[in-house]
Amino acid sequence: MIRRRPLPLAATLCLALLTACQPQVTPLSAVQGEGPRSPLAGQTVSVEGVVNAEFGAGLGGFFLQSDEAGLFVAWPEGVQPVPRPGDRVRVRGTVAELGQGEATVTALIQPRVEILGHGEPPAPRVLDTPPADWEPHEGVLIRIQAPLTVTGNYTLLRYGELEVAFDGRLWTPTELAPPGSEAARIAADNARRRLLLDDGRTLHYPDSLPYLPQPLSPEAPLRAGSLVRGATGVLDHRFGRYRLQLTASLDIEQAPRPDAPRVAGALRIAAFNLENLFNGDGRGGGFPTARGAATPEEHARQVAKLVAAVQGLDPDLAALSEVENDGDGPDSALAQFVDALNAAGPAHDWRYIASGEFAGGDAIRVALIYREGRVTPVGRVAGLTAAPFDRGNRPPLAAAFRQGDAAPIVVVANHFKSKGGCPPGPDPNADQGDGQACWNALRTRAAKALHAWIASDPTQTGSDRAVILGDLNSYSQEDPLRTLRDLGWVDAFANGPSYSYVFAGQAGRLDHALLSPALAPRLHGAAKWHINADEHEGFGYPRCPALGCDGPWASSDHDPVLIGLDP
């Protein structure tokens, strides 16, 4: 006779109620919670769901989804078992928020993973409009049915990111409305409509972008303004932004590159920020330069692109900014750029105005160039180096030009203080939180001083026909531009919103042309040539050999301005 020892009470209960011995499963929705951070952070939980995407090699984990919610599980590439999309898994781990501040992704860390079965990935949740809150969709496989507009591509090559928006391009709020409630409403609407598409990796300058249907090229440049359809991926929340980690190739309708603009009027005047045209010592050495090209080869590509831009604009004269402040001699960046224009043709009569004592003390300066066969400088060259142009704002440069027997026109090249490098504390130039960023007070002072100076007839020609040109680092509805308009200056682009710059995925106009009341009736056309703001850095001179360097594309970070006048 065999005697059997009685089972312990716990084992007896397990045999009677097997499910009671299984770890309690917490719903994924309970782990995610209703806010940006999990209410279970720091607790150990067991969850079950279906793998909807695996990014072990990129993000170091996979996403798990149930009917209600999704969750990221930290599980690097190669760790066994290897979950695949469609696997049903049980995971036990610690709830954590990965990232900083509120922009975190809820995740399970230090997990134990058990694959329970194999099947199909969950069907994507379909969105036609941006949700009021993205948080309930975190970790969920999503397909965006509505077309998305590429509104920024600054980090496309750097991190594989593409800024997109529902319902068209995003505009800088203060391009459309003065600081205040309406600008705040536009900013809130932009935040609601925007989304990042990401490549599921954290690589810096990845070799390829797997979500593109074809490689980047001059024929497929993926400019801002392009349309994206059928974006499918898992919603993620990291590095400060909601982003869709793409799981399928995109359907892209490429925005075409625009032809060179043509404006009516016998006199064509351009304004162009050259984005740090530095030429080393002017004799092949001195590279890398302080702000521009790193090698003589890069400088040659930079000059070729800028020459192509000026050739396409075909102006009679132009106001330039961000030119190296290295004098007016033959080895200067300005003189050698004009030499390059003449060498490239078809025009060979380009000349420049010597800035002399008016160049200021900044590393960069403004400049004026002109076609000797089309216009003639008259009067004296003038500049303003006193405050508020002694620091921050570059000194404006003014010269008068005559076309034929017409009365002279005073052309003033400008470059106001940028929005970067904010001063601390209660300084009036600190960011006031009204959308105008920092140094707005200094730029507004510059606008008032510029008006008074031009009214003093600095070129001694007696002409009241003047044009303010250049990078004023202010959007159209910000204080400096409204100040100039209130003082009587007429915006050449007053008929509707336009842009010359894209920052943080928002388009706006930093580059302006404003005409005095006496000159405004002679305006016959105004255009922006979008050769730069919509392009990504792959076509800029440092990186273009990989994609193609021909043409003016990405010759700068600002689009040039062109106006047509009757002299």
Q: What residue ranges of the chain have pLDDT lower than 50?
A: 1-5, 7, 9-20
534-543 residue pLDDT tens:
999 999 999 9
In a domain, 11, yes or no: no
Which of 31-45 are b and which e, b meaning 16 or more Cβ less than 10 Å from the residue's Cβ?
bbbeebebebeeeeb
Is residue 451 within 8 A of residue 442, CB to CB? The reply is no
**51 and 140 share one domain:** no
Above pLDDT 90, what percent of the chain?
A: 92
| pLDDT score, position 99 | 85
In a domain, 7, yes or no: no
In which domain, by residue range, is 352 found? 267-565
**285 and 144 share one domain:** no
| pLDDT score, position 6 | 52
Q: How far apart are CA 66 and CA 85, in angstroms?
A: 13
Q: Which of 117, 144, 178 is the last residue of a domain?
A: 117
In a domain, 433, yes or no: yes
In a domain, 242, yes or no: yes
429-459 residue pLDDT tens:
999 999 999 999 999 999 999 999 999 999 9
In a domain, 355, yes or no: yes
Q: Which of 188, 223, 253 is the last residue of a domain?
A: 253
Burial class from Cβ neighbours inside 10 Å (0-12, 13-18, 19+) for residue 258 reads middle
CATH number at residue 195: 2.40.50
Q: How far apart are CA 109 and CA 120, in angstroms?
A: 25
162-193 residue pLDDT tens:
999 999 999 999 999 999 999 999 999 999 99
**111 and 178 share one domain:** no
In a domain, 319, yes or no: yes
**104 and 162 share one domain:** no
Report CA-CA distances (Å) from 147 to 222, 236, 241.
15, 20, 20
In a domain, 262, yes or no: no
Q: How far apart are CA 357 and CA 417, in angstroms?
A: 20
Tally of structural domains, the chain: 3
**315 and 458 share one domain:** yes
**48 and 183 share one domain:** no
Q: How far apart are CA 173 and CA 165, in angstroms?
A: 15
**388 and 488 share one domain:** yes
Rounded to two decimals, the pTM is 0.93
CATH number at residue 88: 2.40.50.200
**384 and 525 share one domain:** yes
**296 and 408 share one domain:** yes
**150 and 238 share one domain:** yes
Q: Three-class SS string for 271-320?
A: EEEEEEECCCCCCCCCCCCCCCCCCHHHHHHHHHHHHHHHHHHCCCEEEE
| pLDDT score, position 21 | 53
**173 and 44 share one domain:** no
Q: Which of 222, 253, 284 is the last residue of a domain?
A: 253
Q: How far apart are CA 228 and CA 153, in angstroms?
A: 13
Q: Find residue 528's DSSP bridge partners.
A: 561
**106 and 224 share one domain:** no
User: How many helical (H) and strand (E) elements, i.e. helices and strands, does the chain have?
Assistant: 9, 28
CATH number at residue 289: 3.60.10.10
In a domain, 495, yes or no: yes
